[in-house]
Amino acid sequence: MDIKQKNRRTTWRLALVAVGMFGFGFALWPLYDVFCEVTGLGGRAIQVSENNDLAVASDRVVSIRFDASVNSSLPWEFKAKEKVSEFNLGVPSTAYYIAANPGTESITGQATYNVSPPEASLYFVKTECFCFTEQTLAANESQEMPVYFYVKPDLPEHIKDITLSYTFYRHGYEPSGPLGSH
């Protein structure tokens, strides 16, 4: 085999590797989202449908802190109705957040959430949440936003406190800079 054939073969192999790397990079983001949904890793609570059976209620109580913040791209006010509450494990519960748009135009936002400590996210199950869909608030509108959840009774004994944090972003917001690029 002469040098031109070797060069051509190497070029084709490198092109295939580049295409494969591009395809893998393109698929990595949705695969990571699916992985986090299934495992609860990355601070994401596991989402279940209403048909799933709830765990058996427990006498054990856990304290849950509710945090709320708004990204600077969204001119809303957002807060938890109660900052901290105690809940029995395995018991369906509800927490309320309040969002307000003091502006003069209708704006759509999307909330992201995090559960900490990270290990607790495996046991924190949200059955319905405002963060699952976009939220639109008209000018000068405020809205109470519920989160329906339960904490699995097999939560490790060393976890006594959980924090559920939400951050609202303007719909379509893309962080700028090197860390915000995908």
Distance CA 114, CA 64 (A): 13
Distance CA 137, CA 72 (A): 17
Distance CA 27, CA 23 (A): 6
As its CATH architecture, domain 46-170 has Sandwich (2.60)
Report residue 111 as tokens. Answer: 């909330």
- Report the pLDDT value the prediction gives residue 137, as an integer from 0 to 100: 95
- Report the pLDDT value the prediction gives residue 42, as an integer from 0 to 100: 53
Amino acid occupying residue 85: S
Distance CA 111, CA 102 (A): 18
Domain ranges of the chain: 1-39, 46-170
- Report the pLDDT value the prediction gives residue 17, as an integer from 0 to 100: 84
- The single-letter DSSP state of residue 161 is E
Give Cα 150 to chain centroid, integer Å: 16
Distance CA 153, CA 56 (A): 7
- Residue-wise pLDDT tens digits, 130-164: 999 999 999 999 999 999 999 999 999 999 999 99
Please count the other Cβ atoms lying within 10 Å of the Cβ belonging to residue 67: 16
- Report the pLDDT value the prediction gives residue 35, as an integer from 0 to 100: 65
Low-confidence ranges of the chain (pLDDT < 70): 29, 31-56, 173-182
